[in-house]
Chain A
């Protein structure tokens, strides 16, 4: 045995791994480390007091009143035999001595660590207005519990600030519960930032058809409270006002990287930069050996997207990246896996199942490739320089995998219609899948292989 192999086996047997951020990515990484045969000590550090729980239901099943906010604890795939330090934020990372510093003054030494501290909700910028009773953000189960109670109390009107996915989902649930809703969005329509103007128009139609008072191109300038400190009225940049008793601030997230400020790692508002094997970069852009990153806090280059660094706030990405990070933490360089999964996302609003695959913002063209927009059952394909880079489906999820394969293969855009003239509810048919040589001239790489262990990038040379 070479010394490197011996050192790895000693580490897998007796090493110390610390995971900071005990949520979806942290839990799945811990399980995968044990699956991979790591028997050393594992410490989970989290600033929330609860066991890892799932967030997507917080803006869906929880707000409808069906599921209590405390009922989304994540199922465990296996026992992880870890020491859990919950309710204990990490405040610093010392890479000279390999220790994590905690808010309570303790120091936790490690041989390797995973950063999975995710994002938090971006608060309303004026603290005194954010503190008014009736003003909410939605990221944690406590947030969702408070908002669910406020909605159940039967407010006269709910104001939602920001028509991204979370804001739109909450607007949809309010309408289901027959509560008046105003949605204020600075952009030209809902979901425009993530999915572009064409989908934005369709999403706006959906909101209007469901009775949402949708106001686009306006900014909320002030949240006004009454003498008891309760939110009562919002002021808009166009001079208008809206009276409401609940305001939901849905302005996206802030990545939890402040605790790494003095660590010497490559951090910023975009997250912690890492390579496609999830190893963190230091400030100089050099890759580190023992620090790994996964989930919403990670920013990682994707070969399919010209090796640009991409940050994702997607459930599936947190799971897949955590498994890759865990594998790579307990393997030698030659056996490491790249994180090449094509991003996928879903949202449920106004009774429509919206899904995406790829990176819709990495596109210069979009077409409705299949189905009917007016029936809200279609596929929109996104292209960049003549190749398919993303697809969005409305009530047409069965086609997502087909488009994922087109993206991996750098297939030409606009894509050939898989079922010309067929109604959108036709049964999926096997598609003839072009090999790399028939593909778009501009692409430089394609992804092949299915399992994480097989997935590799192949260069395309025309």
Chain B
């Protein structure tokens, strides 16, 4: 699953690291490092972390499956 955190708004409260420790980790006192592609088995944890973030800085993929028909010219 795809995840991105708006780290310019993240305040380092660490709720996410508490709820989904495999995907979100604190680095030093308040810097957040996260896995932008956590395994689907972590889906529930990650969704709970996203819901708990006090500033809603965590965006989780809203779609399932490939949503685009890509015409790639180069290989």
Q: Which A residues fall within an 8 A CB radius of B?
A: 49, 51, 54, 56-57, 60-61, 64, 66-68, 71-80, 82-88, 104, 314-316, 319, 344-346, 348, 350-353, 355, 377, 395, 397-398
Contacts and interface: CB of A to CB of B under 8 A. Distances in A.
Contact of B2 (A75, A82, A87, A315): A75
A64 B28 CA distance: 15
Contacts of A85: 71, 73
Contact of B8 (A71, A75, A355): A355
Given A87-B72, A316-B6, A71 B62 contact: no
A395 B29 contact: yes
A352 B31 CA distance: 7
B71 A84 contact: yes
A72 B36 contact: yes
B33 A348 contact: yes
A373 to B, nearest CB: 15
A61 B34 contact: yes
Question: How big is chain B's contact interface, by range?
Answer: 35 or more
B40 interface: no
Contact of B72 (A49, A57, A77, A79): A49
B73 A87 contact: yes
Contacts of A79: 63, 67
A348 to B, nearest CB: 4
Interface string B25-68: 00111110111110000000000000000000001111100011
Nearest to B73: A87
B11 A398 contact: yes
Nearest to B68: A84
Given A61-B35, A397-B10, A75 B68 contact: no
Contact of A348 (B31, B59, B73): B31
Given A60-B33, A75-B2, A86-B71, 9 more contacts: A49-B75, A72-B36, A73-B36, A75-B62, A76-B63, A80-B67, A316-B6, A344-B9, A346-B8
B2 A74 contact: yes
Nearest to A85: B71
A351 B31 contact: yes
Nearest to B59: A75
Contacts of B2: 73-76
A397 B28 CA distance: 13
Interface in B7-28: 7-12, 27-28
29 contacts: A49-B72, A51-B68, A61-B35, A61-B36, A64-B33, A66-B33, A67-B37, A71-B37, A76-B2, A78-B62, A80-B67, A83-B69, A84-B69, A84-B71, A86-B72, A87-B73, A87-B75, A88-B71, A104-B73, A315-B8, A319-B6, A344-B8, A346-B8, A348-B31, A350-B28, A352-B28, A353-B31, A397-B30, A398-B12
A237 B19 CA distance: 51
Output the residue of B3, B11, B35, B70 with the most chain A CB within 10 A. B70
A57 B36 contact: yes
Contacts of B73: 85-88, 104
Contact of A83 (B4, B6, B60, B71): B71
B29 A76 contact: no
Contact of A75 (B33, B34, B61, B75): B61
Nearest to A352: B28
Contacts of A78: 62-63
Contacts of A76: 2, 61-63, 67
Contacts of B6: 315-316, 319
A66 B10 contact: no
B72 to A, nearest CB: 5
B4 to A, nearest CB: 6
A72 B38 CA distance: 10
B74 A49 contact: yes
Contact of B70 (A80, A86, A348): A86
Nearest to A106: B73
A186 B68 CA distance: 45
A45 to B, nearest CB: 10
A72 B37 CA distance: 6
Given A51-B70, A71-B35, A87-B72, A397 B11 contact: yes
Nearest to B70: A84
Contact of B4 (A54, A88, A346): A54
A345 B8 contact: yes
A169 to B, nearest CB: 11
Contacts of A67: 35-37
Contacts of A74: 2, 4
Contacts of B68: 51, 80, 82, 84
A377 to B, nearest CB: 7
Contacts of A377: 29
Contacts of A64: 33
B7 A56 contact: yes
Nearest to B55: A401
